[in-house]
Structure 1
Amino acid sequence: MLRHLIGLPKPSSWNHPVISKTSCSRLFSSSIPNPYLTLGTTLKNILPDGSEIRDILLFDPAKEEMLTVSDKTFPQELVESRQIGSTRGWGIFSNDHDRSLCISDLYNPLASKSNPTMVPLPSLAAVHSNQANVVWNVAMSSSPGDEDCVVAIKFLGRQLSLCRPHSDIRWTNVGEILVEKLENLENSNLTYSKRERRFYLPGPGGNSLYSWDLHLKKNKSLKLHELLFRDLPELDDSEWKLLGWCCRTEHLVESVSSGERFLVKWYMYAQRFFSPSHEGTNYTTRRFMVFREKTMTEGRYMYYTEDIGDVCIFLSMSEAFCVQASSCPGLKPNSIYFIGHGFGIYNLSDTTIHHFQAPEGAPTSFKDPYWLPPSCI
């Protein structure tokens, strides 16, 4: 997955050869509760105070068309910052000059157009770690308007930092406390469990889970949860061998409505390419595997499944989430909506991928490919 480099230009995140142009585009309607993908913005005006008026471009995966949220005010503080993460529809923004941070609902299509909410966070300058330059992903326990809200940032490597925006003046650096146990979690994706009020990180290979409660300053110990896997898919030996060569990321996803949890394993294979001017590696999604969690007296079991019912899962650079397809018209149940190494819908029942087409007027590459959860969750 592509990640943000603090102080360095961000790489393009969508330049996929299967994507072509369509002519679908419309203005945003507040009555539509679907998830959206952030595509970028177009500048319309620069105001004397340094703020800007921009149109926000969103992608509607249900209708496969672009939406425009027109005339959104970008305060100067956010004009001079860039987004480094997204969780629960809120963006985390970083100023590269002083490493100051803030949370904002800037890209939320239902938020105020003229006065976006901004909640300051402690500066990253106080995070004394050479691993705090690359943000992997972020998670948040609740809305930043809540007094007890906890924000967590997972950096590339074993650095994990947490803070309470309304009471902390600096970050609590979990990576410095638990350095030995976190050394193999470089590519783990952070998520928050509302059901258990804990932050979770999948362990190496997705065979375990690490978790922290919301009272880290009083209880700095982490919990290790060993996972027991059942009903693995019946695949040919050649397919298992190919999957063994693939890169893989793990994502723990929890349903807000039911509390049901899934562990998603995302397999990507790499292909080297060479040209007269440069060489590199292309990553392509091979498949996903989904495991449904069942907690028993013997431990936590993960059962492989190709049927998650009415649920659809959303994976991107933001914190993973899932929604009920029936509550968001047009979404396909039993599917994974993903952007990263490809952009499309993965059907769990037949393992096929439907690749999205880029609407007319959409940018050819994305800086911030974040799924925003719908208002209905």
Structure 2
Amino acid sequence: MSMSEGEDEEEEEEEEEEPLDFFSWSYNDIMFYKGMLYALSKRKSLVCFNLEDQKPPVGHQMENMMDMDNLISTRCMRPKHYLVESCGELLMVYRNRDTIYSSDGIKYVTKSFLVFKLDKSGDALHWLQVDSLGDQMLFLGGNSSMSISAKGIHGFKGNCIYFSDDAHMFFRFGPIHPCHICSDNGVFYLDDGRIDSLSPHDISHFDNYPPVWISPNVVLGN
């Protein structure tokens, strides 16, 4: 059976299609911001989805992030980045961390953070580095990231990043060895780059349960 000329052209077009890039469509974080859905791909790109159009395919645009290679230590082998809204700005927070292997298990050690805000002033979107968060505190981890003012909250300090261990794939669910040690929890101070322990108690034995942040609705009295 012979194929027509049109069928030959259609087959050639299908063969010329680029393969699907897994890392371009695999996301580290995703959130709603000002009516749009934003996502950070593993290729360091910011993807914006317009969900107002109900007809498939959902419209989207992809904006490349600024090159991070010159800003991030090459010694940090397990970076992670997050999206969070703070005071009306869309922030991207880059977490530098290393992996330590021992006879007791695997643990991550966070070294530093870099904070950027989305700049829409020009023709193209790009990231601007942020040196201070003012009185805001960022809470980062496995669940949705949060930004909260430190004003009136005893025991907390602004211009800090509170982070929890979110190495989901390494948390142990069953008799797997070596297990992940849940110890990468702390407070990062943007003013001097210092990191303090988040809790005075050792919680590394909670290796089965990834910690999450909870934001209760607090009603302050007059």
Q: TM-score, normalised by structure 2?
A: 0.69
Are residues 297 and 264 of structure 1, via their aligned partners in 2, closer, same or farther at CA, if it must alter by over 3 Å?
Answer: same
User: How far apart, CA to CA, are the structure 1 residues paired with 2:101 and 2:95?
Assistant: 20
1:240 aligns to 2:78 (yes or no): no
Among 15, 18, 31, the alignment partner of 1:191 is: 31
Are residues 339 and 293 of structure 1, via their aligned partners in 2, closer, same or farther at CA, if it must alter by over 3 Å?
Answer: same
Alpha-carbon deviation of 1:306? 2.5
8 A contact 1:254–1:262 mirrored in 2: yes
Unaligned 5+ runs, structure 2:
1-18, 166-182
Are residues 183 and 367 of structure 1, via their aligned partners in 2, closer, same or farther at CA, if it must alter by over 3 Å?
Answer: same
Among 271, 274, 279, the alignment partner of 2:100 is: 271
Among 55, 60, 63, the alignment partner of 1:222 is: 60
Among 46, 64, 72, the alignment partner of 1:209 is: 46
8 A contact 2:164–2:211 mirrored in 1: yes
For the pair shown, the structure with the greater C-alpha radius of gyration is 2
The amino acid of 1:211's aligned partner reads: C
2:162 paired residue number: 337
1:357 paired residue number: 199
1:30-67 superposed Cα distances (whole Å, 9 cap, x missing partner): xxxxxxxxxxxxxxxxxxxxxxxxxxxxxxxxxxxxxx
8 A contact 1:264–1:291 mirrored in 2: yes
Alpha-carbon deviation of 1:216? 6.0
User: How far apart, CA to CA, are the structure 1 residues paired with 2:29 and 2:186?
Assistant: 20
1:180 paired residue number: 20
Are residues 185 and 326 of structure 1, via their aligned partners in 2, closer, same or farther at CA, if it must alter by over 3 Å?
Answer: farther
Alpha-carbon deviation of 1:288? 0.9
Alpha-carbon deviation of 1:213? 2.9
1:11-37 superposed Cα distances (whole Å, 9 cap, x missing partner): xxxxxxxxxxxxxxxxxxxxxxxxxxx
8 A contact 1:228–1:300 mirrored in 2: no
Alpha-carbon deviation of 1:222? 1.9
More relative contact order, 1 or 2 (CA 8 Å, 6+ apart): 1
1:288 aligns to 2:113 (yes or no): yes
1:369 aligns to 2:211 (yes or no): yes
More strand by share: 1
Are residues 185 and 266 of structure 1, via their aligned partners in 2, closer, same or farther at CA, if it must alter by over 3 Å?
Answer: farther
Alpha-carbon deviation of 1:358? 4.9
1:93 paired residue number: none
1:249 aligns to 2:80 (yes or no): yes
1:119 paired residue number: none
Among 117, 121, 145, the alignment partner of 1:320 is: 145
1:182-218 superposed Cα distances (whole Å, 9 cap, x missing partner): 543545112221x2x1222112353x21122334642
Alpha-carbon deviation of 1:335? 0.7
Are residues 344 and 363 of structure 1, via their aligned partners in 2, closer, same or farther at CA, if it must alter by over 3 Å?
Answer: closer
The amino acid of 2:211's aligned partner reads: P
1:226-280 superposed Cα distances (whole Å, 9 cap, x missing partner): 33469x76xxxxx83323xx2111111112xx311211001111122247xxxx5
Alpha-carbon deviation of 1:359? 5.4
1:60-88 superposed Cα distances (whole Å, 9 cap, x missing partner): xxxxxxxxxxxxxxxxxxxxxxxxxxxxx
User: How far apart, CA to CA, are the structure 1 residues paired with 2:106 and 2:201?
Assistant: 27
Are residues 202 and 284 of structure 1, via their aligned partners in 2, closer, same or farther at CA, if it must alter by over 3 Å?
Answer: same
Q: Note the 1:86-165 alignment, pairs <5 A.
A: none
Are residues 331 and 217 of structure 1, via their aligned partners in 2, closer, same or farther at CA, if it must alter by over 3 Å?
Answer: same
The amino acid of 2:195's aligned partner reads: I
Kindly report the root-mean-square deviation, in angstroms, between the aligned alpha carbons of the 2 structures: 3.1
Q: TM-score, normalised by structure 1?
A: 0.42
Alpha-carbon deviation of 1:344? 1.3
1:260 aligns to 2:89 (yes or no): yes
User: How far apart, CA to CA, are the structure 2 residues paired with 1:222 and 1:310?
Assistant: 34
Aligned sequence identity (%): 20
1:300 aligns to 2:125 (yes or no): yes
8 A contact 1:313–1:336 mirrored in 2: yes
Question: Does the residue aligned with 1:184 lie in a helix, a strand or coil?
Answer: helix
